[in-house]
Structure 1
């Protein structure tokens, strides 16, 4: 529907009331009177959105949506620079971005200057370094917690990256080992 060629100069659209929209708006009223589960509210808004999207005279609503999509597209840099989510794989990152793996990888490299795999590994190593310094977990536990499958691979990559094994770093920085 959004690929249709509807254009308008209006920034606000008018809703033509009908029985369906009236019933949807009426069904919202109890949600504001009582403490309503957030998931129920999301479903109510989704119901309203779909009713507007598939209504007979939806040109102004479609134009409104196109304006939002065009003007508020976030770049991958904006999405992933501030993202607090721990991703397990590049595939998970691509899904969040609503892109194919190939398109995502290409766009990500353009935005960050490194591959998404390298970015993901950097995040995992940062978290591992923090855990090595401030927890009493062993190397294998930390390796698995940050998302690396092989402790041997983790140790060799960590040493290559930081010129110390994880255990050497942990012993030099962690208060649990400074006795």
Structure 2
């Protein structure tokens, strides 16, 4: 199962309790998912478990957490599975925050990140203080409290500050990862998720930018508008499939996000001056 976070949560509000504004989103779920999840996370996340556990499946190892841990993940794609807790229950709170929130946090508390290390995955042990903060955030979902999002932000700041004081080296490395990759954030999101981008609207949705902001960012990164970039990337993917697989032209058109084979052929011929089939035949002869 593939989930694009936090978009999936916003599109399935009936499955989650949500507290949010334009800077931060906090969701609570009691629904256990049996399958291993492929998470496409377009912002950063703090995972706060109330009941049950999660296992993060990395390339060379697994990281398992439960209600004695907190897990920070910087933006990226991850495999994860969930673990049933006490009395077959499951309950978790996910806090999503963007680059701007992190930079404002650093500025707000005059924090100096004096490390060259970078950590994109950071599990930390919880203690009584962290558990109290998480318990308070949990209460905001149980009661209709005015200004709950501002109260959540205060608690998140407390958790960040406490994590920094408890393990300065590791948490500073997590903050540094976000600092060092800010300028390439949009580039990473788009290029890592090209297989699910079929339109400029998809690009806006994934990057959480409006069309005007996306155009500005694409011109900065690639000196192209979003549609030009998307057309080029889809055709480059098609070329890779033509060279290295036995997929049919129809299958390649579909996997590259084209609504019809005929449109794919027209676009391919416009760019490469030949049909996909002729391109494949020429490459086989070379």
TM-score range, shorter chain: 0.5 to 0.7
1:128 and 1:143 in contact (8 A); partners too: yes
TM-score w.r.t. length of structure 1: 0.58
1:134 and 1:174 in contact (8 A); partners too: no
State the 1:90 CA deviation: 1.9
Partner of 1:85: 193
Name the structure with the higher strand share: 2
Partner of 2:221: 111
Structure 1 residues 20 and 149 mapped into 2: Cα distance closer, same or farther (>3 Å)?
same
Q: Distance in 2 between matches of 1:162 and 1:53?
A: 51
Tell me the alpha carbon deviations over residues 65-114 of structure 1, each in whole angstroms, 9 at most, x when there is no partner.
Answer: xxx699557235x5316832222222222223221122212322233111
1:132 and 1:174 in contact (8 A); partners too: no
Among 142, 150, 154, the alignment partner of 1:54 is: 154
| 1:95-174 equivalences in 2 (<5 Å) | 95-174=205-284
Structure 1 residues 119 and 101 mapped into 2: Cα distance closer, same or farther (>3 Å)?
same
Partner of 1:41: none
Q: Which runs of 5+ in 1 are unaligned?
A: 13-18, 28-49
Structure 1 residues 170 and 54 mapped into 2: Cα distance closer, same or farther (>3 Å)?
same
162-171 or 93-102, larger mean C-alpha shift: 93-102
Aligned to 1:74, what secondary structure does the other structure show?
helix
Q: Distance in 1 between matches of 2:221 and 2:186?
A: 11
Tell me the alpha carbon deviations over residues 33-87 of structure 1, each in whole angstroms, 9 at most, x when there is no partner.
Answer: xxxxxxxxxxxxxxxxx987334x96x95xx9xxx699557235x5316832222
State the 1:127 CA deviation: 1.0
Partner of 2:110: 9
Partner of 1:34: none
Q: Which runs of 5+ in 2 are unaligned?
A: 1-22, 24-100, 114-126, 136-149, 165-174
Q: Distance in 1 between matches of 2:133 and 2:256?
A: 45
Q: Distance in 2 between matches of 1:112 and 1:160?
A: 21
Q: Distance in 1 between matches of 2:234 and 2:277?
A: 17
Structure 1 residues 96 and 24 mapped into 2: Cα distance closer, same or farther (>3 Å)?
farther
Q: Distance in 1 between matches of 2:271 and 2:109?
A: 55
Q: Distance in 2 between matches of 1:91 and 1:26?
A: 36
TM-score w.r.t. length of structure 2: 0.39
Query: Computing the radius of gyration over CA atoms, which structure comes out larger, 1 or 2?
Result: 1
Structure 1 residues 52 and 171 mapped into 2: Cα distance closer, same or farther (>3 Å)?
same
Name the structure with the higher helix share: 1
